[in-house]
Amino acid sequence: MDVFRPITGDSPLLVSMPHVGTYIPDDMANHMREGVRAVPDTDWHLDRLYDFLADMGANVVMATHSRYVVDLNRSRTGGALYPGQSETGLCPLDSFAGQPLYLGGHEPDGAEIERRIECYWQPYHDRIAAELSRIKDRYGYALLWDAHSIKSHVPRFFEGRLPDLNLGSGGGVTCDPDLSMKVHALALQSDYSTALNGRFKGGYITRHYGNPAANIHALQLEIAQCTYMDEDAPYGFCDDKAQQLRPLLRHMLDQFREGVTP
């Protein structure tokens, strides 16, 4: 199976979905605990929620493999994203609920982690880098939107309920501040709760590729899953909720796309 699904569009916008994949190869799954194949920590249904991207001419890269195989939004060196706060690693050993993923003694060793990096992590990032380079060559600038979602309550990572729409620009360094504030202003004017550079400031993808000085602007959006789906298994998609959220998402992406000049 390919490690990502690409869609080539006709705009300066690239949308990355690194955690939408659900596939775990059998040779890994056979060493995992019961229930892991249900991949509860997936960014469920984002491709369906963002079903308007083709109409926008967006370029898209969507992962096919689960974050349990390798987390594409972590550095290949395994450094912490949020020092001092709980987080899962490059090749996670436990779930968001703190449950071990692997049967005892079957956790990936250094050689296996390196293999996963080369087989799954590197091709995804090669594609991101190539697309940003191609887009910038054509338009003079590039825009990267890193799309994520998560349960609205994950006590391991944050207290209480997460805001509905969580924008991150690495604390203000991965995107022109005026642009990120314009995008955020649309969320502020909506009925959804929102934060800019709150608990989720943007992961490795946003921080690594965002470089406003080089005309590459990156934003991460972490959406609380209760806004468009059932948060409990079997994680059903809620059309009514999605129909309410989509116009705002598209408006935010339009603002992001139109707010930069080369």
What's the number of CA atoms in the CB half-sphere (13 Å) around residue 191? 5
pLDDT at 260: 75
Which residues of the chain carry a pLDDT beneath 70?
Answer: 261-262
> Apex CA 113: angle with CA 112 and CA 117, to 5°?
115
Domain at 232, CATH number: 3.40.630.40
CB-CB contact of 225 with 166 (8 Å): no
Boundaries of domain holding 80: 4-258
Please state the domain count of the chain: 1
CB-CB contact of 102 with 28 (8 Å): no
